Structure 1
């Protein structure tokens, strides 16, 4: 078989059933090979959309996502989606075409050094230089993407290698190695710190899901009864109504979550990395706490905050070993009381338009609890994190580390293909939605029943809010009042669409959206002045939260 046929067979051997891409000259041999393959190719309308869709597939399923693009602009358009996967530890394999090996370095048509461009935003990048290297390159790509802390790998394949004969069989590789067992003495030290603490708090992130440790994590919380705060990527680690779940912490976390962290004497960090959006001013974060840090990635432990006890390796078994009752009932009652008084009580809405908080609560009540919500980035993202109840990981898909606008719609497409039996809703903002609006054509082509909700405040809302609060109201380049009619845009793509502008009509509009067969769009006007509350200004400590207007 030739190189392109080998890649197709290698993908099949690894159980890949869906890939996302956009064809072009240098990747054309692979597209020709896919004609004879059972793999389903999803034609996105932009390579960035293909990368985000592959990432959404991986986020929703836990299986590696695969995207394809041609050389030059095709490959460069993938970079944002690859960077997103890198920062959020998403297993992704990107395969790009390249100009023939004899033309590399000659400034040939659509030649780009995608190897060099991708190195900072991948776990590993490979330029295949000889036909005999191709089988090992594909195997290495999947092994690296799925092992340890997952991430993206790019394989750049010159066209002549796609056409050259390859002899090796495309057998699957051995798969990811088992996690490293954490040393018993480290577990014993952590157990001693837990027993001696009076005000412990668990701070958990997306690493719980990456480790496949959700069940162990929940048993640990149940056994110890430790109050728990979650990062944006950690939402769903505990069910929303769990008595130990104090919700999200950080820049737009609840006052209660941030306050208990500031008061705690032991911070048990599980699969989290002291991100700046979580900690605020780092030197004033959890100032009285000793730190127990559990993570599968040694590079994250001690990087920003020294750990008094580091547990690096397979965190599931370590959590099981630490699951023992603690005598902290007074602290537990104090934290629950704070949560009751200082949850997300501030009103999101202000002025005319729909209150986003009320809308999201209605949506959550109407849609299946297992539904996947794919968010873009901005104010609506934070409203979803604050007001939508997530019971399981992989329910909230959002660009956490990169904060990439335009993520939500293509990611929802990938999620719906990965989990066709689960409702998928894309919640977007007017700014984010227009960044990959072309993927409405992908929704229509494949008849995917993704429901699109566009919160429209005719502003670049998160930037406008920071200009209001941090730049003395000196607004610049945030006015989007010339937005198109989003219902007309959806109709032009062949999608049913409605606008809901009165609070009394929200329930019926959501019901229409969820009952409509196939994809549809709901346009939701929001007041331009609506802010996300609470908020910690960049560079400030979390105890300096601005609470906003209480409802």
Structure 2
């Protein structure tokens, strides 16, 4: 492109140069020209979200399951203010997306939709990449995508309309932003780590999202076998070691009985790419009496949530492989005492039904519903979970084939982020069905995106844990003995609402109707909503 073109055309070309194939968005004056250009001349799929926050969450779900940078677009002013909760969640979840946001004319600072968009974005934890001029478009777009990959967070590409209306002679960008690299461990730090591990008699290994990003499964399992350590994961690395004889599952507040016993008995915990936050450590209780060897690519994460014995800045795969090499070279013995035949048997015989007491209810036990879904939904699936008390059994018992097939939405503690995330995930991985579990309170906040799922005929199954209340708040009102009606929402028929929005739906009101779910899933229309009346006071695993 050597002739003089408008900023709109240059922006579309710069996005296409970044291999963008899908943009989720809501139209407005600040982005419509670029989106039209992308569709007409670059064959980029534009997905029409119902709301701007939905567009960002869709881009986040797409990025989470594909490993690519997701792309969303909104207009200026209210278009961007509508995204703040989603933007904060994605920043804390460290999901890389680029948000092409129109901005008002820099020459008209008092326009109706004007707001300081950079100042608005700053508290969310997202980055801002200002579009400086028409001539800088290619470089600024390249920097936005490079930063999203390198910083693992959303970057808002702030594009004033007067810059978009300018003219330029387009030249592809030569900007290269360095991506995270597989840093090898420092020799001195590694020596301390080897000493701590070799002195242990009952080590365990915990892998987090950083280990998943580093593709470190094989090397960590080799190390675990070499030192005789059971393995566990954080929630973000869910099912990373599923199928292994000494896989303890999730470490922390979601650990089952055998895992808690084993982790408690350990004298050394080796963490790869895991922040060791309070959820993973059960508020530190699972770390008591242990040496902690903490390995992470990012130095800011080392010892962030707890004191550690040894901190090693390194890529998880490189660190695990090097540890194996050192143990072999030094001919150190396999001292681990936790990988016993008894533990192997306990893990093989694990049955979630033994983890909770019976609960009498005329409605559906949410724990039983979770286990039914795990059994009947196709094994190759994407599982997205909204936030609420119902999520805990799902986190623990609903399994996936690999960690990137699981997407949780609780990083900012907000409900109502799941449906749009599931839509983006379904767009990113159309080769497998997407299961969304969501509460009635959360779904009420995002019902509009059912229209998006219906518009594109997505292979999404939405299961509503419909307890007629904000479940977590019911627990609070029970505890304080006040305001019992504050958290009640009443019996909303989401199946009827979904049908009215063009989504096939069924309604389950009693446990003896759960048998209808397998057939509905096997023969489901795209999309499908299953509205299940659950009991707000069903005990959940903690």
For residue 88 of structure 1, report the CA deviation from its aligned partner.
1.1
2:442 alignment partner in structure 1: 432
CA distance in 2, matches of 1:414, 1:341: 34
Alignment CA distance shift 1:467-1:206 (3 Å): farther
Residue 376 (str. 1) matches residue 379 (str. 2): no
Q: Distance between the aligned counterparts of 2:467 and 2:296, measured in 1?
A: 39
> Does the 8 Å CA contact 2:229/2:338 hold for their aligned counterparts?
no
* Counterpart residue number, 2:377: 367
Aligned with residue 12 of structure 2, among 8, 13, 16: 8
Q: Is the 8 A contact 2:239 2:249 kept in 1?
A: no
Q: Which residue of 1 aligns with 2:87?
A: 82
Describe the SS at the equivalent of 1:458: coil
In the TM superposition, residue 222 of structure 1 has moved relative to its aligned partner by 4.4
1:324-354 residue CA offsets vs partner (Å, 9 max, x unmatched): 6833245545655775679661148541222
Q: String of CA shifts for 1:263-286, please: whole Å, max 9, x gaps.
A: 32111112121223333444x441
- The within-5 A match list for 1:240-389 is 241-282=243-284, 284-323=285-324, 326-330=334-338, 332-333=340-341, 335-336=343-344, 345-347=355-357, 350-389=360-399
The residue aligned with 2:535 is 527
For the aligned residues, what is the CA RMSD? 2.4
Q: TM-score, length-normalised on structure 1? A: 0.89
> 1 CA distance for matches of 2:65 and 2:193?
32
Query: Is 1:142 equivalent to 2:145 in the alignment?
Result: yes
Distance between the aligned counterparts of 2:123 and 2:176, measured in 1? 27
Query: Are 1:79 and 1:118, in contact at CA under 8 Å, matched by a contact in 2?
Result: yes
1:452 corresponds in structure 2 to: 462
Deviation at 1:472, TM superposition (A): 5.3
CA distance in 2, matches of 1:71, 1:349: 51
Tell me by how many angstroms 1:295 deviates.
1.1
Secondary structure of 1:57's aligned partner: helix
Q: Which moved more, 1:385-394 or 1:40-49?
A: 385-394
Cα distance change, pair 248–177 in 1 and its aligned pair in 2 (3 A): closer
Counterpart residue number, 2:516 = 508
Q: Summarize the Cα distance change of 1:490–1:341 in structure 2 as closer, same or farther, 3 Å threshold.
A: closer
1:26-76 per-position Cα deviation (integer Å, ceiling 9, x unaligned): 222222322322110100000111111000001111111111000111101
Residue 538 of structure 1 is matched in structure 2 by: none
Q: Of 488, 491, 494, which residue of structure 2 is paired with 1:479?
A: 488
- Which is worse superposed, 37-46 or 347-356? 347-356
Unpaired stretches in structure 2, ≥5 consecutive residues = 328-332
TM-score by length of 2: 0.91
374, 380, 397: which one aligns with 2:407: 397
Quick check: 2:64–2:95 contact (8 Å CA) kept in 1?
Answer: yes
The residue matched to 2:506 in structure 1 has which SS? Answer: strand
Contact 1:118 1:125 in 2 (8 A): yes
Mark the runs of 5 or more structure 1 residues left unpaired by the alignment: 536-551
| Aligned CA distance change for structure 1 residues 130 and 384 (closer, same or farther; 3 Å) | same
CA 1:388/1:338 → structure 2, altered by over 3 Å: closer, same or farther? same
**Equivalent pairs, count:** 527
Does the 8 Å contact 2:50/2:452 carry over to 1?
A: yes
Cα distance in 1 for residues equivalent to 2:136 and 2:437: 43
**Contact kept? 2:381, 2:400, Cα under 8 Å:** no
Partner deviation per Cα, 1:486-532 (whole Å, 9 max, x = no partner)? 11110111111101233343233232123223111111111121121
Residue deviations 1:403-436, cap 9 Å, x none? 3311211111111111111111111111111111
Cα distance between partner residues in 2 of 1:330 and 1:272: 21
2:26 pairs with 1:18:
no
